[in-house]
Amino acid sequence: MLKNLKKSDIELYNMINEELDRQRNGIEMIASESFVPLEIMEIQGSILTNKTMEGFPGKRYHAGHQVIDKIETLAIERAKKLFGAEHANIQPHSGSQANQGVYSALIKPGDTILGMKLDHGGHLTHGSPVNFSGKVYNSISYGVNAKTERIDYEEIEKLAKKHKPKIIVAGASSYPRFIDYEKISIIAKNVEAYFLVDMAHVAGLVAAGIHPSPVPYADAVTGTTTKTLAGARGGFILCKNEIAKKINSAVFPGVQGSMHLHIMGAKAYTFKKAMTEEYKSTMKQVAINAKTLAKELDNLGFRIVTGGTDNHIVMVDLRPKKITGKILDEALESVGITVNKNMIPNDPESPMVTSGVRIGTTAMTIKGAKRKEMIEIATLINRVAENIENVKVLENIKGEVKILANRFPLYKGEL
Ligand code: DSN
């Protein structure tokens, strides 16, 4: 795929190959990652990248839009069909920009938004003080119940009544359980707030019918075509027809200028692929694998946040093993297992240290891993956790990781 680059920039070519080796020989368990089909890389590397285009199909600011109009319409229609949505905007460059688009379509700077706390599982763009969402808007946050570690719907209702937010946001980046979208939509309706669901992490599971869909309940739903959708690197917005015009003009010209047409083409393919039986059965396996991994880690003495998982995420509390997220994250990386340190609810450690790690099963499931491998991976993780300073044991585990990873060749003979 990179034969021309090899001739003109060997330094960069070698770096990309170094990363390919890492992806091939390691066990990838970052919850927001996946391995994309070759078609996605073909489209993202296609001549679509040459075109500049602003506006929407039939209403453009640059000439030469006939084919692009057809491709964007194809992506929009597929997204609507896949999720049963009235309207789709597939232009956001990322999930963050999709959220920015929805906020700027529906509310004004200084208005109140109510979203999930970042350290309880939310996302930066749901009102974190270090993000535009917490700087531009008056951000109030809800969290999880201290005992159950599940979303505290009573707290959402109390905060909504007290602060009268203009938008209530549901969705998370490190929450392993289903979210009751209907319940939050009723709370939003009662305080006359818009209801935004950011389903970036679970969009693929929603598409496959493994996870409840927020589409019937939310005014707007944002997502990414990466993560569980396992396709193009970008964002999208679904909404009711009633606010479609506002959403479109908030994305362009409100938040973005010209579109990324190579990514838009890849989004059209992502939505088609997500309608296939093959994709649905992979997503089913993603959820089975996450449940298996959670159960095995629990058996091995880790504490699983909320006691299990409904999606692709396993949140692990490391305190029973007397290590931090930072320590385990680094030790796992040294043997080729990639996870990320992550705050757990009411974490006594700082975000750079943390008491937990977040583990996701999407990428390895796409490679072909099943329950058997999840049991092996849990054992490997436990051996690393119990031998953090034993260089010899870690070296042996590194070899075992490579053997396991290579049972599922990535793009073998295809690149
Ligand atoms: N939100 C980040 C994550 O979940 O890893 C990246 O999208």
Based on the domain organization, do 186 and 287 belong to the same domain? no
pLDDT tens-digit map of 137-164:
999 999 999 999 999 999 999 999 999 9
Based on the domain organization, do 331 and 260 belong to the same domain? no
Contact 101, 255 (CB under 8 A): yes
> b/e for 210-227, b at 16 or more Cβ within 10 A?
bbbbbbebbbbbbbbbbb
Residue 413 has pLDDT above 80, yes or no: no
d(CA 236, CA 376): 36
Q: Which atom of ligand 1 is nearest to the CA of 33?
A: 5
**In which band, very low, low, confident or very high, does the pLDDT at 1 lie, cut at 50, 70 and 90?**
confident
pLDDT tens-digit map of 256-266:
999 999 999 99
**In which band, very low, low, confident or very high, does the pLDDT at 312 lie, cut at 50, 70 and 90?**
very high
pLDDT tens-digit map of 197-221:
999 999 999 999 999 999 999 999 9
Based on the domain organization, do 150 and 291 belong to the same domain? no
Kindly state if the Cβ of 123 falls inside 6 Å of ligand 1: yes
Cis before 253 (ω within 30): yes
* Mean pLDDT within 284-295: 98
What separation in Å is there between the alpha carbon of 251 and the centre of ligand 1? 21
Burial class (CB in 10 A: 0-12, 13-18, 19+), 333: middle
Residue 415: the pLDDT is 80
Residue 91: the pLDDT is 98
Based on the domain organization, do 313 and 169 belong to the same domain? no
Asked if the structure places residue 177 within a domain, the reply is yes
d(CA 129, CA 117): 10
Considering all CA atoms of the chain, what is the largest pairwise distance in Å, rounded to the nearest integer?
A: 64
* Mean pLDDT within 303-326: 98
Burial class (CB in 10 A: 0-12, 13-18, 19+), 132: middle
Please report the DSSP string for 36-47 in residue order.
--HHHHHHHTSG
- Domain with 208, as residue range(s), is 42-273
* Sequence-ordered list of residues with C-beta below 8 angstroms from that of 201, at least 6 positions apart, any chain: 31, 32, 171, 172, 173, 227, 228, 311, 312, 313
% of the chain beyond a pLDDT of 90: 99
Mutation choice for ligand 1 from 28, 29, 30, 32, CB with most ligand atoms inside 8 A? 32
Read off the pTM: 0.97
Asked if the structure places residue 34 within a domain, the reply is no
d(CA 90, CA 73): 10
Total length of the chain: 415
CATH number (domain holding residue 390): 3.90.1150.10
Kindly state if the Cβ of 361 falls inside 6 Å of ligand 1: no
Residue 267: the pLDDT is 98
Based on the domain organization, do 177 and 259 belong to the same domain? yes
What separation in Å is there between the alpha carbon of 6 and the centre of ligand 1? 31
> End-to-end distance of the chain based on CA atoms, in angstroms?
5
Kindly state if the Cβ of 362 falls inside 6 Å of ligand 1: no
What separation in Å is there between the alpha carbon of 136 and the centre of ligand 1? 21
Residue 414 has pLDDT above 80, yes or no: no
Based on the domain organization, do 387 and 256 belong to the same domain? no
Helix (H) or strand (E) holding 168: strand 167-170
Based on the domain organization, do 299 and 259 belong to the same domain? no
pLDDT tens-digit map of 346-358:
999 999 999 999 9
Q: Which atom of ligand 1 is nearest to the CA of 174?
A: 4
Based on the domain organization, do 205 and 294 belong to the same domain? no
Residue 134 has pLDDT above 80, yes or no: yes
* Mean pLDDT within 13-20: 96
Computed from CA positions of residues 102, 104, 105, 107, in that sequence, does the dihedral angle turn out positive or negative? positive
Residue 341 has pLDDT above 80, yes or no: yes
CATH number (domain holding residue 249): 3.40.640.10
Residue type, 167: I
